[in-house]
Amino acid sequence: EAQVTQNPRYLITVTGKKLTVTCSQNMNHEYMSWYRQDPGLGLRQIYYSMNVEVTDKGDVPEGYKVSRKEKRNFPLILESPSPNQTSLYFCASSFAGSYEQYFGPGTRLTVT
Amino acid sequence: KQEVTQIPAALSVPEGENLVLNCSFTDSAIYNLQWFRQDPGKGLTSLLLIQSSQREQTSGRLNASLDKSSGRSTLYIAASQPGDSATYLCAVRAGTTDSWGKFQFGAGTQVVVTP
C-alpha cells in the first residue's frame, strides 16, 4: 500500500530533550515536506526537500533541523524542544512533476 | 509573501444541498492549487489538484475551478451528504523558482452537513 508513515504518532517530552520524528514514504517521491498545524494558525511549512541532500526552509524553520540522506526518509529533529513547539506535525511527499502531496497520519507532540 | 484565505471559516448545510467553498490567494504566480479534506484528529486526504494551466478539475461529486488572474479557487460539492462533514483546506504551491518547494495553506472551512 502506498503510504507516508510517521513515528511516533504521539509523544510527550520535556523541554530541552532532543527528539526525532521519523517520516518514510514508499512511493519513490522526490519531494518531501514537514508541516505543523496549530489552532487558529492552520498548517505552516517547516522544511522541505526537493530530493536527496537538497533541503530548504519553509516559513517556520526556527528550532528544527532536517536531513535527507535517503530518498524515502525525511526525519525532523528538534535539538532542544520548547513548549512553543507543542503542535500536530505532518509529513508529506509528492512526485516532483505534479507536486500532488500525500500526507502522513500526523504526530502529536507535547513539550512540557 | 503569499497569503491564502478561506471564507467562510465554518458552514452548516442540510443534506442534499450543494456546497460552495472558497479559496483566495494574493499572488497569482502559482504552480498549482490542491484541495484537501481533514477529518477531526486525522491527516489530510487529497481531493483535487489543479495545475496553473488548468481552469477546473472534476472527480465524482467534486468540482474545483481556478481563476489565477483573480486569485480564486472554488470547490463545489454536489448533493452534500453527512459523510462530507469535515474541514476542507486549500494549498497553493509557489510558482517562482526561488520558492519552488514552498506551499501555503488556508486555515480551512469547517463543514457540517445535517441529516
CA-based nearest distance B42→chain A, Å: 6
Q: Which residues of A touch B103 (CB under 8 A)?
A: 33, 45, 48, 58, 101
Which triple of cell numbers denotes residue A2?
502506498
| More confident site: B111 or B101 | B111
User: What is the tens place of the pLDDT at every residue in A25-81?
Assistant: 999 999 999 999 998 888 999 999 999 999 999 999 999 999 999 999 999 999 999
The burial of A50, by beta-carbon neighbours within 10 Å (0-12 exposed, 13-18 middle, 19 or more buried), is given as middle
pLDDT of residue B86: 97
What does DSSP say about strands B109-114 and B10-14: parallel, antiparallel, or unpaired?
parallel
Picking from A10, A36, A16, A12, the residue whose alpha carbon sits closest to that of residue A79 is A16
How far, in Å, CA of B16 to CA of A48, rounded? 40
CB-based contact (8 Å) between A9 and chain B?
no
Contact B102 A31 (CB under 8 A): no
pLDDT of residue A53: 92
Which triple of cell numbers denotes residue A68?
535527507
pLDDT of residue A99: 81
pLDDT of residue B14: 97
CB-based contact (8 Å) between A59 and chain B?
yes
Res. B95: pLDDT tops 80: no
CB-based contact (8 Å) between A98 and chain B?
yes
| More confident site: A24 or B99 | A24
How far, in Å, CA of A98 to CA of A84, rounded? 34
Residue B48 in contact with residue B60, Cβ under 8 Å? no
How far, in Å, CA of A108 to CA of B69, rounded? 38
Give, for A43, the enclosing helix (H) or strand (E).
strand A42-51
User: Using only C-alpha atoms, what is the Rg of chain B?
Assistant: 14
The residue type at A36: R
Q: How many CB atoms lie within 10 A of CB A1?
A: 3
